[in-house]
Structure 1
């Protein structure tokens, strides 16, 4: 190519291809014979960063620039259509292109199209491509149309993206309108931009366009408007989610119902532009909560009344304890005293039957004295001050053994402590606990077998396996007391700890049926548990588990 044709000097790849092509083999001939308006148009086109295509002459020869080159894709028309007749170059879409070209070539008019779909062959296949373009006439000095300049943009991606967006919006609206939950969109000033069918139906508005802006203020309870403004305002300032509860009027009934409203910020180009949210009717839950609150208030009042009655009963119990310890014991002591005087001074004058009756009076008085003392002990386990101290179990057991010395000597019994330990207890209560258990073990021994009682201790750290109310992260002491006495049937293992429960008649064994109830209450006072097991005529085992340190 002769360098004097400066209109082809630049233009990148397409300028080079035009310079290298042998135009002498085409009807156009060499560039030195090309008309001035063709040269000028090509120079402008080759140096333009905007996609351009030129149809030239009667056969509409094809020219295009580097910016247009990507539109042709790969494995398609490029570069063979350079200089080719328009009908040959665009055979697959000529029926769409030719009528538009005729408007320009025959009438000299420019035309413009936006997002027009014209299929072309590119990338090795036919593709539906959307174009936004203008067709403009290129005239010679006589004013005749010599060619058509096409300025074009491939808008396929934008069109498809818009279609996907519209389809997504259509599906969103379809799903939203099927939802029983309210779905809404607002801007930062709480102007409604979208509301689904459930919301529209509730407030009685047919068209979505009629429920925009701040129309919502007409259906929200007046007392709740401040809740909305405050909640939305804070969420806008902080750009955070929010949850509000307020009342909205139902069109059908005119009644206000409670709704729980949740919103999340909506962003566009990293800027918050409003909220997307939902709302759910919670009126029934609110009503239930109100009823529950009323019920709780009623039950609280009833509980307070019960507590008052309980306090009154406690006072009565204290009065009973006072009467038991003073008023009841005084006449009882007089009965015992006069019975003893009569037995001492008038015994010889009594008949055999009379002597037996007086002996029964004395026996009954002793049992009553024992019962009163046990009842007082039982009541005091809850009312007396509890001062915990660390004691050595060995010393306490020795003390109890001394108290039981006569009984042990009489029955040739033995109490053995295998392993001792220190633990924190209320000393006088725990002494009573050990006394009751050990005295029972001696008392309920078999007639022909000397009582043999063993006490053993063990430190455990998995106390929850013993009882779910205990704690695994705390150190406990398990005290096991085993005897070889008369035992009991396993079905009575729980019952023996109840007040006044006796497994044997008072003729067989003396007792009030309160001793083990006192033991259980003392164990509970020490935040522990007690259990019993036994076999009839083989013996009993009592296990106490309580914290080593309170």
Structure 2
């Protein structure tokens, strides 16, 4: 060995701190050159520098500071390293000297070792004072004379671990605080479904004070006898299948001794793939259950009422069919005789009648004709519901042409005309739709202005439900829209809905002949085609009727 190696052998292989010690000019310090250091210091220094465990040494009367590479990270950056090397403890640690000086004094004066675990000792590091938790021991180091010459600190910086534990405890505290304020039950079990935690709401409800009192027997005491098997089998299945729990059962209220319905749910907890328990909730569903039972009872009552209504409806339908038969046969036969005899009298005895008699016979004829029209309209209205519907695809213009031909005499008398602006294919029940068009065009002719020839414009087009502002239409579904506009006397907007009601008349029968059923038949036919009809008008400025029906009737019934 060279002289240099002989002087500093105890500082060799010391890593960063060994190199710093070798390079430091110790002649300028009170501890002196390393070759003058006592053997006890050299030996302690050699052990410390080569130890992988964090160590710090206070040496001599001034408690000079030494530390190894393993301790170095505890000092952080922009802190005490490396200038405290060889510095007195009081100068090196002014921020904690009042805390550690008494401990060092006990070791030096009494020779006793000290142990502290997770002790909070803030130090200056990383440019600021930081809270640092240490687990450390202070042990005396004796010199060659057997006197205590220093204190060896073996320590671990447990700051991150302590903070993690504290964070976990705080999180648990907040969880329990939140859980205890919750109006629903919150509970945690182990893997055998033994309750480890239950919040206040649960404990208060079943009448126990602590979670530790919550044994398996508690379930037997509080669960309704008819439900206990459901509870035990449900929990057992969850443990066996590592699955969630979702049960509804009755539990006794400790305050009232009444059983109330609860919905209990839980999810399994796993650690490293192993089931460690369940975390669950419980919600009182007594009101929902009561409401459900009440609703069930109401549904049963309404179902019976509906069944009774259906029976009555069937009876009414039979009566309606009987009425239709009577109207079409029994009523019309005497009516035809009245009309026939009145006509014969008017032809053969007209000249023999007085002026008053002639007027009365004319009124008889008029009343009989109105009666005939009313019977025909009532039959048409009845058949709109009862007749079988067979849909066919036809051209709108063809229907209009047929109706226009039927109304040719009325149009000619008033010099009116029908204009088809556009046409399209429609899927309808042909004879019903022909009746619809007939009634609407007949109305437009009937309610035309006295001095203005009626002009009726009809436009047919295919639209998408998305294009319409009507909320009743379905976006993406195709519809046929038929618009019929006339230049007649119109009507006030307040009657837009009423004009489709049965026997609804806006004018007296002296002014305009009619039964008040025509537009009701129109609406009924539109409904039979799963469509909608609307009317808009203005007095003296005509009317607009708009019909919208699905382009295809498949799946709309």
Q: TM-score range by the shorter chain?
A: 0.7 to 0.9
CA displacement, residues 291-317 of structure 1 (integer Å, 9 cap, x when unaligned): 223222222222222222112111111
For structure 2, the residue ranges without an aligned partner over 5 or more in a row are none
CA displacement, residues 186-240 of structure 1 (integer Å, 9 cap, x when unaligned): 3343322222222222222223432367744543334445555666667668877
Residue of structure 1 aligned with 2:393, choices 358, 381, 390: 390
Compare 106-115 and 75-84 and name the one that shifted more.
75-84
Q: Which residue in 2 is equivalent to 1:183?
A: 186
Q: Which residue in 1 is equivalent to 2:443?
A: 440
Structure 1 residues 463, 363: CA separation in 2 closer, same or farther (over 3 Å shift)?
farther
SS of the aligned residue for 1:501 comes to coil
**CA shift at 1:67, angstroms?**
1.0
Aligned mates of 1:189, 1:231 — CA distance in 2 = 13
Structure 1 residues 57, 462: CA separation in 2 closer, same or farther (over 3 Å shift)?
closer
TM-score of the two chains, using structure 1 as the length reference: 0.86
**CA shift at 1:61, angstroms?**
4.3
For structure 1, the residue ranges without an aligned partner over 5 or more in a row are none
CA displacement, residues 242-267 of structure 1 (integer Å, 9 cap, x when unaligned): 65443332110111223344545545
Q: Which residue in 1 is equivalent to 2:138?
A: 135
Conserved in 2, the CA contact under 8 Å of 1:193 and 1:212? no
Superposed, 1:126-525 pairs within 5 Å as 126-139=129-142, 145-211=148-214, 215-216=218-219, 218-225=221-228, 228=231, 244-264=247-267, 266=269, 268=271, 273-340=276-343, 353-461=356-464, 465=468, 467-525=470-528
Conserved in 1, the CA contact under 8 Å of 2:496 and 2:535? yes
Structure 1 residues 45, 484: CA separation in 2 closer, same or farther (over 3 Å shift)?
closer
Aligned mates of 2:216, 2:369 — CA distance in 1 = 93
Aligned mates of 2:363, 2:413 — CA distance in 1 = 24
Structure 1 residues 217, 9: CA separation in 2 closer, same or farther (over 3 Å shift)?
farther
Conserved in 1, the CA contact under 8 Å of 2:140 and 2:151? yes
**CA shift at 1:383, angstroms?**
1.0
Aligned mates of 2:483, 2:101 — CA distance in 1 = 109
Structure 1 residues 223, 7: CA separation in 2 closer, same or farther (over 3 Å shift)?
farther
Compare 498-507 and 211-220 and name the one that shifted more.
211-220
CA displacement, residues 384-434 of structure 1 (integer Å, 9 cap, x when unaligned): 111111222332222223322333344444333343333222111111122
Conserved in 2, the CA contact under 8 Å of 1:493 and 1:531? yes
CA displacement, residues 341-378 of structure 1 (integer Å, 9 cap, x when unaligned): 55566666665555554444343333222221111111
**CA shift at 1:549, angstroms?**
3.9
Compare 11-20 and 74-83 and name the one that shifted more.
74-83
Structure 1 residues 90, 270: CA separation in 2 closer, same or farther (over 3 Å shift)?
farther
Aligned mates of 1:122, 1:140 — CA distance in 2 = 32
Q: Which residue in 2 is equivalent to 1:68?
A: 71
Q: Which residue in 2 is equivalent to 1:2?
A: 4
Conserved in 2, the CA contact under 8 Å of 1:104 and 1:135? yes
SS of the aligned residue for 1:3 comes to helix
**Number of corresponding residues:** 550
Aligned mates of 1:270, 1:513 — CA distance in 2 = 80
Conserved in 1, the CA contact under 8 Å of 2:39 and 2:144? no
Conserved in 2, the CA contact under 8 Å of 1:464 and 1:470? no
Conserved in 1, the CA contact under 8 Å of 2:500 and 2:519? yes
Aligned mates of 1:235, 1:344 — CA distance in 2 = 99
Aligned mates of 1:397, 1:190 — CA distance in 2 = 79
Structure 1 residues 10, 519: CA separation in 2 closer, same or farther (over 3 Å shift)?
same
Conserved in 2, the CA contact under 8 Å of 1:191 and 1:214? no
Compare 108-117 and 74-83 and name the one that shifted more.
74-83
